[in-house]
Amino acid sequence: MSNQNVGYEIEYWEKSRQEDSLERYSLASKIFDLQNRIRPTDSVIDLGCGPHGGIFNVVKCSLMVGIDPLWEEYGAMGKFLPKDIVTVIGDSNNFNYDGKVDCVFSMNALDHSGDLSNSISEIIKHIKIGGIFMMHVHMRTKKQLNSGHKMLITEEQIDLLLAGLDQVHKQIVQTCPFDNKPYASYLGIWRLR
């Protein structure tokens, strides 16, 4: 993550309240039907979960891994750091759970990665056969790009990158359901064959 992206993210999380995150993840739980898709015995990674614990506020499972490149910065800011999850400083390119994970969840994170193709390829490597990948990503227009969101992502691009998986759910919305901003969003669930 570039210094400019780090600055953007830190500014966002400095303004963020834990209650706002809990509200967003409660909504994500409904949209993605997390209670019925994630079992207590599952191993789950929340990629880009932020300082408030991501989906682990709404689901509990046997292995809960929160991966975020900014864990140290969150701690320095005095932000809430969940105690019941394994925290890994990194992104989709530097964690090692090859073929061992039941679910990878990523909400509004992959549009920060810089290389969507490589990120998705790496994520798929970590999912067990029969496991699932759940993703929400903004598809901003050129005018909507900013220092924290520099990548144009299209529906066709995502469909192509994940064509080797079975798509369980796909929803394209013109307003982000988690922050009501006018960004088209792709919400999808795929199962690894």
* Of 154, 153, 88, residue with least CA distance to 126: 88
Under a CB-based contact definition with an 8 Å cutoff, are residues 127 and 157 in contact?
no
* pLDDT for residue 35 is more than 80: yes
Q: Which residue has the tokens 């969507």?
A: 116
Q: Among 44-53, 71-80, 121-130, whose mean pLDDT is lowest?
A: 71-80
Which residues lie below 8 Å from residue 81, measured CB to CB, with a gap of 6+? 51, 71, 74, 75, 87
Q: How far apart are CA 122 and CA 120, in angstroms?
A: 5
pLDDT at residue 95, rounded to an integer: 73
Q: Which residue has the tokens 């967003």?
A: 24
174 vs 3, which has greater pLDDT?
Answer: 174
* Of 55, 3, 63, 66, residue with least CA distance to 29: 55
* pLDDT for residue 4 is more than 90: no
Percentage with pLDDT > 90 across the chain: 46
Please give the average per-residue pLDDT across 111-121, as a whole number: 87
Question: pLDDT-based confidence at 57, cuts 50/70/90?
Answer: confident
Which residues lie below 8 Å from residue 90, measured CB to CB, with a gap of 6+? 67, 68, 69
Give tens-digit pLDDT for 65-98: 999 888 888 877 776 666 788 888 888 777 778 8
| Average pLDDT over all residues of the chain | 86
Q: How far apart are CA 40 and CA 174, in angstroms?
A: 33
Give tens-digit pLDDT for 137-188: 999 888 988 777 778 899 999 999 999 999 999 999 999 898 888 989 999 9
Please give the average per-residue pLDDT across 2-12, as a whole number: 63
* Residue 142 CB neighbours (<10 A): 6
* pLDDT for residue 5 is more than 80: no
* Residue 170 CB neighbours (<10 A): 14
DSSP per-residue codes, the chain: --HHHHHHHHHHHHH--HHHHHHHHHHHHHHTTHHHHS-TT-EEEEET-TTTTGGGGT---SEEEEEETTHHHHHHHT----SSSEEEE--TTS---TT-EEEEEEES-GGGSS-HHHHHHHHHHHEEEEEEEEEEEEE--GGG-BTTB-----HHHHHHHTTTSEEEEEEEESS-TTT--S-EEEEEEEE--
Q: What is the CATH number of domain 3-191?
A: 3.40.50.150
